[in-house]
Amino acid sequence: MAIAKKRRDWALSLFATAFLTTIASPTPGQESDNPLLQQWDTPFGAPPFDRIQTEHFEPAFEVAMKRHLQEIEAIASNSESPTFDNTIAALERCAWDLGRVQRTFSALTSSATNDDLRAIQRRMSARLAAHQAKISLNEALFARVDALFETHQSLGLNTEQARVLERTHTGFVRAGAKLEGEDRKRLASITEELASLSTTFSQNVQKSAEGFSMVLESEADRAGLPEFVLSAAAQAGADRGMEGKHVITLARSSFEPFMTFSTRRDLREKLFQGWTMRGDNDDEFDNEENIRRILILRLERARLLGYEDFSAFRTANTMAGTGQAAKNLLDEVWIGAVAKAHAEEAEIHQMMRQEGVSHELRPWDWWYYSEKARAALYDLDEDEVKAYLSLDNVLRAQFAVAERLFGVTFEGRNDVPTYHPDVRVWEVKNESGAHVGLFYGDYFARPGKRSGAWMSALRSQHKLGEDVSPLIMNNCNYNKPAPGQPALITLREAEVIFHEFGHGLHGLLSNVTYPSIAGTSVDYDFVEFPAQIYEHWMREPSVIQEFALHYETGDPMPTALLERLRAASNAKAGFDNIEFIASAFVDLAFHRIKDPAVLAELDVNSFEDGVLAHARIPLAIEMRHRSPHFLHSFASELYASGYYTYMWAGVLDNDGFAAFEEAGDIYDPALAKKLHDYVYSAGNSRPAMEAYVGFRGREPSTGPLLRNRGLDPENLDSNSINN
């Protein structure tokens, strides 16, 4: 899942993270009538969402940017010779106002937006990019940073300071600080336009998705749907002012269950077309031209900075190192995934023949028939499984695992302001009972909230001048139950909760001095590791047996059901991995184009088809995210030419969790301490591979990933869909 978290535009420059981080208390005289610019007297200095109004944001941005530029000018024009403290640490201390305005605004535009906030977002995106360019291209400021970097070995810096200096210098260089003349001006212009285009792309996707809904008017329309799907559809109808109607939307928590259980093939096709055509309907929300322009500008910027294409620029500062290395990993997994998908397809065809179905297998059939095959082979009923997975119990499980691994506890707070009644807040404490931070959870889908699941930081941890505790948020989009009913979720949705909480722990457990390297501010192909390894605990039998309790009886999940779930865990692994890798292939291919003339004439649909045909994707499987709605790739640059990172992290998380399996204890204290010290608490205080090796004792192997996903080509049984 995505980090918003964590979802910041890393390509602009790593040091920008520091500028958008809550740093210290405001100085006297900075207060105003605007709550965004006042000192917050809320518990733990949390954002006063109950006092913040839409009209507060633009004036707050104006004041905060002005103050930030004054701070930057004071650093750049300092008559004293540059030192770590008066230059690098000074950069880390500034932008207190701008950081919290930006983060508060981002929380609302992601989770509780409206037309007025969207309008502000469109106006401010380019202005904020221009503001950042003034800093990253400030010659006097960079001269001070560069002078320190050139003499860093003689500065007597500790390990963390040396890392901050190195990352700050790299951020300036990658933001164009070494460019001159017209090239500098052009880069600033590109950065500004890209910010505006990314905002437009994201808003188009949301509006396109919200513009689609499918009302199930008759019993025939609802055929095959289990009660949990119907209940969620009824709630979706009520949320949209259609009381008594059953409405299917393009939220994944609505889309996938309908595709899985509906016997109405025509409606499955209609919904699938709505899903795949988001942002690609030749209407006012069409994103094809935005994609072309974004790709052209990204290529031009990469060329200005000395790279042959955007992928080379994007991966140069990562664990992978090159786009080709990322492609090689995807190719290795693709071989096993295709073999597994063909085995799954053969099983589906057999079931279709048994039912007398003669039509061709298409993408809108795969969910439906693969679920029927899974249910038949493993005697599984999704309603039966969900009855043991209430949202509240899954949250209890994620907290309990964190306590057993890292000694932290979570206590509900009702006195912290939130932006929506659905948002819940917990105070996090360490083993001695001392405050660690606040954790916010926002788990239900609703109009005005973007789709997907993500982690974000309302404030990052640091110890610069004073200890500042983190404010970390998780967002998901599950179906809200009817009043008085528990929220029941699938096992995969429970794993997503653990995934995002893994990101959350990465922010909450951070223990560094400098904000620019705190929490999730790590190499972008390492950032998914702490989230993905945490998912493994949700799959462990001991965790399921303790926390998967029937919502009516309180009984634990029966051993027989648990064993069937484990046996079926890879039943759709071929499909799942193919649709993911297909999107990663296209993402990489777009950004490895070297000719701007090719991009200018690019037909997005034809390009996608060409990449997938070359990869020989099975015809009945579609890519997970088509480009016109591919937020990872085009709504920001965090995952641009970087969707592969989930697979890269998959190698790390499977290999890393194998260490606990080898120890014979999923809470092994020595391993948990290493995982905490080298990963969850360390931020970006050391290179990513060094951090991984510090935890694991060696570099990772792909073997556990292929084995755990049932994708080892040498062990695949072509007559079975589960290996």
Give the C-alpha separation, 310 to 312, whole Å. 5
Per annotation, catalytic residue among 500, 528, 535, 608? 500
List, in sequence order, every beta strand (DSSP E) within 356-423: 409-413
Please state the φ and ψ torsions of residue 462, each to the nearest 5 degrees. Answer: -170, 170
Give the C-alpha separation, 681 to 666, whole Å. 19
- Vertex 535 angle, CA 456 and 210, to 5°: 50
Write out the H or E segment, with its range, that includes residue 188.
Answer: helix 181-210
Give the C-alpha separation, 693 to 682, whole Å. 13
Exposed / middle / buried, residue 134 (Cβ in 10 Å: 0-12, 13-18, 19+): middle
Helix or strand or coil: residue 251? coil
- What is the 8-class DSSP label of residue 26? P
Query: What residues form DSSP beta bridges with 427?
Result: 411, 438
Give Cβ neighbours of residue 604 (< 8 Å, ≥ 6 apart): 280, 288, 291, 292, 627, 628
Give the C-alpha separation, 715 to 274, whole Å. 38
Helix or strand or coil: residue 435? strand
Distances (CA, A) of 219 to 222, 225, 250, 271, 372: 5, 10, 21, 17, 21
Long-range contacts of 432-438 (CB under 8 A, 24+ apart): 435/44, 435/469, 436/408, 436/469, 436/470, 436/508, 436/509, 437/44, 437/461, 437/469, 437/470, 437/471, 437/472, 437/507, 437/508, 438/44, 438/46, 438/413, 438/469, 438/470, 438/471, 438/472
Return the closest-CA partner of residue 395 out of 433, 441, 363.
Answer: 441
Return the closest-CA partner of residue 276 out of 218, 190, 212.
Answer: 212
Give Cβ neighbours of residue 123 (< 8 Å, ≥ 6 apart): 58
List, in sequence order, every beta strand (DSSP E) within 168-227: 214-216
Parallel, antiparallel or unpaired: strands 409-413 and 435-444: unpaired
Give Cβ neighbours of residue 413 (< 8 Å, ≥ 6 apart): 43, 425, 426, 427, 438
**How many Cα atoms occupy the beta-carbon half-sphere of 292 within 13 Å?**
14
Write out the H or E segment, with its range, that includes residue 476.
Answer: strand 471-478
Return the closest-CA partner of residue 52 out of 414, 412, 420.
Answer: 420
Give the C-alpha separation, 14 to 198, whole Å. 19
> Active site includes 500?
yes
Please state the φ and ψ torsions of residue 549, each to the nearest 5 degrees. Answer: -115, 135
Point out the residues that are catalytic: 500
